[in-house]
Amino acid sequence: MRYTGAMDRYAMSFTVRWADCDANGHMRNTAYSEYAIDVRVAYLDAQGWGFDQFRASGFGPVLLREETDYLRELKMNETVEVDMKVLGLTADGSRFRILHDFIRADGKPCARLVLDGGWMDMRTRRLAPPPEALARAFAGAPRAESYAELPSKRK
């Protein structure tokens, strides 16, 4: 897949809800994942690749690994901004690595989530290069300074 240039930044703001908190009053670990998912889905939708396109194409995202570093507390009613940067893509675009930084309203980072995933062809149930329109939408995503092409595992 050819890199055609990406936007500088994509981020969304969230207010931590009661349902997002654990018994200690902190944002629960799974809420971080859910906010990150919302950012990725919103980005693709804004690029013209929404749920209907996933269904019609027979492709969908698959997460292979997700790791979160918790840096500072995030509590109910606090605002957090979650951004999205691509850390790497395979040459054919079938796999990706994404970074999400979580920044509190005071400007301090509170978490960092890194995930590895790919595009699954729902007919073959295998990772595969995405349809051209999806590849273009994803290729324009913001890239991290440490972006590096991922090795291909396809044979």
For the domain that residue 77 is a member of, what is the CATH number? 3.10.129.10
Residue among 121, 102, 104, 106 at smallest CA distance from 29: 102
Residue 64 lies in a domain: yes
d(CA 86, CA 67): 15
Model confidence over 90-109: pLDDT tens digits?
999 999 999 999 999 999 99
Residue 79 lies in a domain: yes
Model confidence over 14-66: pLDDT tens digits?
999 999 999 999 999 999 999 999 999 999 999 999 999 999 999 999 999 99
| Residue 139: per-residue pLDDT | 86
Residue 3 lies in a domain: no
Residue 1 lies in a domain: no
Entry pTM: 0.92
d(CA 4, CA 139): 7
Domain count, the chain: 1
Quick one: pLDDT band at residue 1, thresholds 50, 70, 90? Answer: very low
Residue 147 lies in a domain: no
Containing structural domain, residue 44:
11-139
Between the alpha carbon of residue 137 and those of residues 1, 102, 148, the distances in Å are 12, 23, 19
Residue 45 lies in a domain: yes
Between the alpha carbon of residue 62 and those of residues 38, 97, 120, the distances in Å are 15, 11, 6
